[in-house]
Structure 1
Amino acid sequence: MKKSVIQPSQGWKVVDFPELWRYKDLLYFLTVRGIKARYAQSVLGIGWAIIQPLFTTLVFTIVFGGLAEVDSDGMPYLLFSYLALWPWNYFSGTLSESANSLVANAGMITKVYFPRLILPMAAIFSKLLDFLISFVVLLILLIYFQVLPGWQLIFLPILLIQLIMCSLGIGMILSAMAVQYRDIKYALGFIVQLLLYAAPVVYSTTAVPDQYQFFYSLNPMVGVIEGIRAMFLSRSMPWQLIWPGAIVGAVLFVFGLFYFRRMEKVFADVA
């Protein structure tokens, strides 16, 4: 009987794309399973993908737009905050899902072989449904406020790639760390809350002093949020905020791949 021997990749190959393609059905299955598990035995089902961001936006509008009177760059604060929460909720949700992806599937890791990278990827892709549903709500708000997006909308794929790349990069780092350090799971909620105020979700970037604008733009979510606001409100694209974050996002993605690959050999031992 012919035996198959599974050996680790040699050299500098970090991602075996042909192997990932062979396991595309598993990626699809895990993505669908993640969506179903999130809304299993839920009365409202995917309605939570609408209720959560919408009610959060209403709270922000009342507290920050009404009571605190935070500047919203001349636009209705409800639309101002929702344009930021749309990408932010995807980003924060993917961090939570991907950080726990390896630990939650420890039984699979210890029993069968498959590219471990599929687990954080499935966590990232499973949140895309919520992202698309939230986009429908955004369209309704644009119609309600009679706002017509401009030609800048052609840059949306670039920002979405930056968003997914940053989410996957950080997700790979957190998922690999969570296998050895279970504190990641408990600290992540607190960290995400802090990161919310490090991005222009409830306030405008004009509130940041000019001398700190570049350092502030190193946060990848700053360029994504401000870029989305600009394209949907027919304003000039803030490239000075987008490109520094894009570089940082790419670095995080590459580092995440190397770190995940380096830690992959110990997943089965400590999972």
Structure 2
Amino acid sequence: MSKTTITSASSRKLNLKELFDYRDLFWVLAYRDLRVRYAQTFLGLLWAILQPLSTLLIFTLIFGRAIKVDTGNIPYPLFALCGMSAWSYFAFVMNQSGTSIIGAQEMIKKIYFPRLVIPLSKSLVAFVDFGIALAMTIVLLFYYNIPITPSIFIFPVFVLLNILFALGVGIWLSSLTIRYRDFQHIVPFLVQLGLYASPIAYPAALIPEKYKVLYYLNPMSGIVEGFRWAILNTPPPGVYSLISFGLVFIIFFSGLWYFKKMERTMADLI
């Protein structure tokens, strides 16, 4: 009886053909996560609406009414929700991808498939939160009678940057969590910290000039400003945003490299 051994084409290179061959598994994992997320809940998908609404209410009361953050001629609820649409996607992918490999350890130990499919599937489920937040933003655009400008055509670019950054961080965390389980506890803290370290509830213009370089080391700073420029026609991202955009690609490609480096030993480590 012959013995068949399955090996990946390369332990260090991204095999796009192999990922494409396992596209069915990608869809199945994404669909499973979507069903599990709202299974046996009374409100079901309505939670995806209530969560951003509750955050928006808190931001409006604290930053819009109490602190009275200056958002120019943009109503504060619309200003905040536009930033939250970008953040909702990133936060979900980062939170879910970080523990995705650990959560699929039984499957990883039993069968071979490109492990990258697991964190990538989380990026698809995150479009539910993103789509709802974006739809709510569009509703407020009409409510406040804010016109759509030609800058909206650049919007897909910032969506792509958001996806790449979310995946880059998610892939890094999914790899690191295998070796250092502390990251399971660190990720929720990073999500909370990142919400206030990014210009979601306030404009980046409030950051003093001497701290701008440090502030834009957080790629979400440039991405959120880009979202607002494209949707609300606020001032375009400044030169400091180039730091954010460059780091998006560095984090994404370095994450892929480290993940592929760890892939062969994942089954042993978990």
CA distance in 1 between partners of 2:68 and 2:133 (Å)? 25
Aligned-pair distance for 1:103? 0.7
Partner residue, 1:261: 260
Give the structure 1 partner of residue 5 of structure 2. 5
Alpha-carbon offset, residue 215 of structure 1: 3.2
Q: TM-score, normalised by structure 2?
A: 0.95
Q: 1:230 is matched by which residue type in structure 2?
A: W
Q: Secondary structure at the match of 2:162?
A: helix
Name structure 1 gaps, 5 residues minimum: none
Query: Does structure 2 conserve the Cα–Cα contact (< 8 Å) formed by 1:222 and 1:241?
Result: no
- For 2:144 and 2:157, the matched residues in 1 are separated by 26
Distance 1:230 1:7, change over 3 A: same
What value does the CA root-mean-square deviation take over the aligned residues? 1.6
How much has 1:150 moved relative to structure 2? 0.8
Counterparts of 1:3 and 1:133, CA distance in 2 = 50
Matches within 5 A, 1:140-151: 140-151=139-150
Verify: 1:188 aligned to 2:187, yes or no.
yes
Cα offset for 1:270?
Answer: 2.1
Report the alpha carbon displacement of residue 240 of structure 1 after superposing the two structures with TM.
Answer: 2.1
Equivalence for 1:112: 111
- The answer on 1:152 being equivalent to 2:151 is yes
**2 CA distance for matches of 1:37 and 1:10?**
33
Partner of 2:63: 64
What pairs up with 1:128-139 in 2 under 5 angstroms?
128-139=127-138
Residues 1:41 and 1:19: Cα distance change in structure 2 (over 3 Å): same
Aligned residue pairs total 270
Alpha-carbon separation, structure 1, partners of 2:72 and 2:221 = 15
Shift in Å at residue 134 of structure 1?
1.8
**CA shift at 1:4, angstroms?**
3.4
Return the alpha-carbon distance in structure 1 between the equivalents of residues 2 and 158 of structure 2. Answer: 49
Q: Deviation per CA, 1:129-173, whole angstroms, max 9, x where unpaired?
A: 221122111111111111122101111111011101011111011
Residues 73 and 204 in structure 1, CA contact (< 8 A), matched pair in contact too: no
Q: What is the one-letter code of the residue matched to 2:185?
A: Y
SS of residue in 2 equivalent to 1:197 = helix
Q: How far 1:2 sits from its partner (Å)?
A: 5.7
Separation of aligned partners in 2, 1:202 and 1:236 = 17
Q: Percent identity at matched positions?
A: 35
Displacement after TM superposition at 1:55 (Å): 1.3
The code of the aligned residue for 2:204 comes to: T
Deviation at 1:242, TM superposition (A): 3.5
- Alpha-carbon distance, 1:208 to partner: 0.8
Task: Summarize the Cα distance change of 1:55–1:188 in structure 2 as closer, same or farther, 3 Å threshold.
Answer: same
Match for 2:5: what amino acid?
V
CA distance in 2, matches of 1:10, 1:229: 41
- C-alpha distance in 2 between matches for 1:132 and 1:28: 18
Q: Which residue is equivalent to 1:247?
A: 246
Alignment of 1:230 onto 2:215 = no
Q: Quote the offset at 1:40 in angstroms.
A: 0.7
Contact conserved, 1:106 with 1:268, CA < 8 A, in 2?
Answer: yes
Provide the C-alpha distance between the structure 2 equivalents of 1:214 and 1:147, rounded to a whole number of angstroms: 31
Q: 1:214 is paired with a residue of what secondary structure?
A: helix
TM-score of the two chains, using structure 1 as the length reference? 0.94
- Give distance in 1, aligned partners of 2:213 and 2:150: 26
Matched-pair contact (CA < 8 Å) for 2:216–2:244: yes
Distance 1:133 1:139 in 2: 10
Aligned pair in 2 of structure 1 residues 164, 173: CA closer, same or farther (>3 Å)? same
